A = this chain, B = another copy of it.
Amino acid sequence: MDLASAIDRVGPPLVRVLLRRLGDPPVRFSLWGAAEIGSEGRAPLATIALRDRGSLARLLADPEYQFGELFVAGRLAVDGDLVGALRLAFAAPRSAGRAARLLDALRRLRPHDRGHARGSAQHHYDVGNEFYRLWLDERMVYTCAYFPTPDDGLEEAQLAKLEHVCRKLALRKGELVFEAGAGWGALALHMARYHGVRVRAWNVSREQVAFARERAEKEGLAGRVEFVEDDYRNIHGRCDAFVSVGMLEHVGAECYRTLGAVIARVLAPEGRGLLHSIGRPRAQRLNRWTERRVFPGAHPPTLREMMEIFEPNGLAVLDVENLRRHYALTARHWLARFQAARPRIDALVGAERARTWELYLAGTVASFEAETIELFQVAFARVGNDRLPWTRAHLYTGEAPELGPAAGGDPPGGTRGAL
Contact = CB atoms under 8 A, between A and B. Distances in A.
B148 A332 contact: no
Contacts of A386: 325, 369
Given A320-B320, A396-B396, A404-B325, A84 B411 contact: no
Contacts of A91: 384
A281 interface: yes
Q: Which of A91, A302, A322, A397 has the most CB of B within 10 A?
A: A322
Interface in A366-419: 369-371, 374, 383-384, 386, 388, 390-393, 395-397, 404, 411-413, 415-417, 419
Contacts of A148: 391, 393
A338 to B, nearest CB: 11
Interface residues of A, number: 61
A282 interface: yes
Copies of the polypeptide in the assembly: 2
B417 A81 contact: yes
A319 B375 CA distance: 11
Contact of A316 (B150, B322, B415): B322
Contacts of A391: 146-148, 396
A315 B280 CA distance: 11
A83 interface: yes
A336 B83 CA distance: 59
Contacts of A312: 282
B311 A281 contact: yes
A282 B325 CA distance: 30
A317 interface: yes
Contacts of A374: 316
A262 interface: no
A390 B396 CA distance: 13
Interface of A is mostly: mixed
A303 B317 contact: yes
A415 to B, nearest CB: 6
A412 to B, nearest CB: 4
Given A316-B371, A371-B384, A415 B150 contact: yes
A91 B385 CA distance: 12
A333 interface: yes
A256 B396 CA distance: 33
Given A311-B302, A325-B386, A386-B325, A413 B150 contact: yes
Contacts of A335: 419
A96 interface: no
A70 interface: no
Contacts of A333: 419
A283 B303 contact: no
Contacts of A411: 150, 325, 328-329, 369
A304 interface: yes
A307 interface: yes
Interface string A61-94: 0000000000000000000010110000001000
20 contacts: A83-B417, A150-B412, A281-B314, A303-B307, A303-B311, A303-B317, A304-B308, A304-B311, A316-B324, A317-B322, A318-B321, A319-B320, A325-B388, A329-B415, A332-B416, A335-B419, A369-B386, A369-B411, A371-B383, A395-B396
Q: Please list the 9 inter-chain residue pairs (A to B) with the smallest Cβ-Cβ separation, ordered nearest first.
A: A150-B413, A320-B320, A304-B307, A336-B419, A150-B412, A281-B316, A371-B384, A396-B396, A151-B413
Interface of A: 81, 83-84, 91, 146-151, 281-283, 302-304, 307-308, 310-312, 314-322, 324-325, 328-329, 332-333, 335-336, 369-371, 374, 383-384, 386, 388, 390-393, 395-397, 404, 411-413, 415-417, 419
